[in-house]
Structure 1
Amino acid sequence: MNQNSQQQIVTILNNTNSYLQANGMTMTEAQINDTSNSLLSIASSLTSALQVALNNPLSSDLAANLNYATTNYNDLYNVLPSDPDNIVYVEEMSSDEWAAYVTNMMQKSIAKTLANQLATTLDTLESTLAARAIATGNLPYYYSNYADGTGMVIAIDDASYLVGTPQMCDEWNFTLPSPVTHLNTNLITETTLIQIGLICYRTNPRTYADNFDMLITSGALEAHIKDENQNLIELVMDLSKVL
């Protein structure tokens, strides 16, 4: 997948996010389920494609980025960056090295944008599913879906029923500490309706991180707690107590 296609997917995901926000509550069950399946499958394909793009850039991207860097040389390299560590001496590079350097920088930027937009869109999907369940009184609510390497789990119930209960998303096991007082927040009591949301990736989407291959050796889990209006509740605790 070339970099232009990746940037187009950012737009598609953003449009999907906007559509869910505007129409998610009135979609049929079949429509929302199809959307969930599609987004999770796209997430799996994207995370794998981004890793490949970083490790094995396409020749077309190398050529396009070298042309961009050459055309915009003064704007890119004849300015002093705020951080001296970011100074680049392209004069010491061969054309191939320069192309590889610029392509890597561009790919990391695109990958970060894509990962963030993907997380935003999946979060909107989760909030939509949860809001639909709460609006129809379908409580307690449990949702689990998995497609091609990416999964989503939602659990909504009184806090007293969710603490101490393991929630599984692929190989990840997430358990809120029990009793409720161990959550260290006055926003949650035994009878507070809360929502646990988990999104698990077989391939870590944060491929843009420096030294990714050495620092990140597993998939990824995004976990959060929300109130009944899908507002995030911040918890301060030792992660070893929940994973």
Structure 2
Amino acid sequence: MKHLRFFTQHTSVSTACIAACLVMFSSSPMADVTQAQIEESKKTEVWGPMPKKVEAMPGQAPSDAIVLFDGNGLDSWVDKDGNNPQWEDSPYALTVKPGTGYIFTKQSFCDVQMHIEWRATREEEKEGQNKANSGVFLQERYEIQVLDTYENKTYANGQAASVYKQFIPLVDASRPAEEWQSYDIIFTAPIFENDELVKPAYLTLLHNGVLVHNNIALKGQTEWIGEPKYYPHGCLPIKLQDHGSANSFRNIWVREI
């Protein structure tokens, strides 16, 4: 306590406070643990296999991601006929060229984590579903809606971040036109056996970092008219929609799960 008295004479901390801290640190939860308990706890320790190391720097694709667009061209994409897409690309964005059609990834995917950023073009003269419409289609058939729904009224299961005509977002995280937005998607592909659905597709979606769909079971492929239904398929490409608006995309990557 001689050292404690010396310390308190030269600081504003009280002797009682210092003493309490000493008691706290000397009363470690491990103080009363026996060697037998330590040995017993080791029985539930798992030391391998260790997970693969993945580098994930802010604003960059993870080191094990498949980069689909980062400003270095459209080598990962084709049009519906398998030719080079006619969409406009630059070091900054990939932009729909209205009237040229959907584009598809060359590679097919099943279960994925996907990141994509998008920007609605400004179309003040339009409204509802016609205002900066596009879409992100997982396996060519399960659509997450892209639309300028910032102060633009439309049906709830067709607004931005909806699973089109199936699920309404839990909240509306939309930003105004010409501001960049992000989708972070966890998608588990449906499973079929002998043309029968065994397990539906599941999807989790964060819109601008906000959870808007939490592990939902999709009802089937996207339908504009009629109820959604499943049709047997395997792994398929991701496609981006040309719906007549010059929307832009950037920083597109996937990780196969």
Asked if these proteins are the same fold (TM beyond 0.5), I'd say no
> Going by fraction, where is helix more abundant, 1 or 2?
1
Q: TM-score, normalised by structure 1?
A: 0.31
Determine which structure has greater relative contact order: mean sequence separation of CA pairs < 8 Å that are 6+ residues apart, divided by chain length: 2
Q: TM-score, normalised by structure 2?
A: 0.30
Q: Which protein shows a greater Rg?
A: 2
